[in-house]
Structure 1
Amino acid sequence: MSTDVLFYHLMHQPLEAALPKLLLKCLERDWTVTVQTGTSERRDALNAHLWTFSDDSFLPHGTLEDDFPELQPIYLTHEVDNPNEANVRFLVDKATPPELAAYERVVFLFDGNDQQALGQARQQWKVNKDAGHALTYWQQTDTGGWERKA
């Protein structure tokens, strides 16, 4: 069985603006999510941000340091762990992906203004295409929405 692998190319808004919207959509679909960052510092910054990103909303989430990470609807990590048995995994901040076959959907969210992140996304596209996964590519619009390009 192949995994749906989505590439989201940030162009006009930063990760902190785009990620919460995508995570809200996952929760609306009753999906369990793991978000993997490239560093523990980035994980900690996102951990704080997801509680305060909106005046009228927050995203329920936790990290390994919280009680019962296996019960978190959104789990934040900088490792390849998956204690909440997520069926969706987000990879941000140039995170090194785990084995993707364990997930229904994997989302690479990358900064289009970072040449290293672009290069890594291109490499991951090739690796995952060669592995037989179903790939889609989404580019951020001027208004922060998403347009499918491939």
Structure 2
Amino acid sequence: MIKGLYEAHLPVSDLSNSIDFYKKLGLEVAYQNENLAFLWIEKGNSWLGLWETDKVKTPYHPSLRHIAFKVDLEDIKQAKEWLKQRGIMVRTSFGFPPEKQPLVLPNNPQAHSAIYFDDPDGNSVELITPLRLNFEEDFEMMTLEEWFIKKK
């Protein structure tokens, strides 16, 4: 029945500014009106709704103002430079400063590599890729570089 996630939504304070930000990430405007825009994440498969509203002042919590975009492993390795070229700064997450990202999340039995940054309204944006699925192995959160050293 369910094939994937089609849409997610975020509150924004300035729709035009937010559209520009997400276009820098490679998203394409699919629909726009005065207070709402849908941007294709993957055309025909998923999109992001941006709603201009005063609700953007709702305090951040990952369950309310967070989105994660799936990327390939090779892309996550280059993500910091790719974001820097677009004027987007990586932020400290889980105690890992930007220079220590991408990091590896130990969500046993899964492991994912991720990098975090904020949109213009402080919504949390994540680039994430699976490293392994359904494999039990306890480990502490670490950098992606440490993950590859450990796996050798």
Q: Is this a same-fold pair by TM over 0.5?
A: no
Greater radius of gyration (CA): 2
Structure that is richer in strand per residue: 2
TM-score, structure 2 length as denominator? 0.29
TM-score, structure 1 length as denominator? 0.29
Higher relative contact order (CA 8 A, sep 6+): 1
Structure that is richer in helix per residue: 1
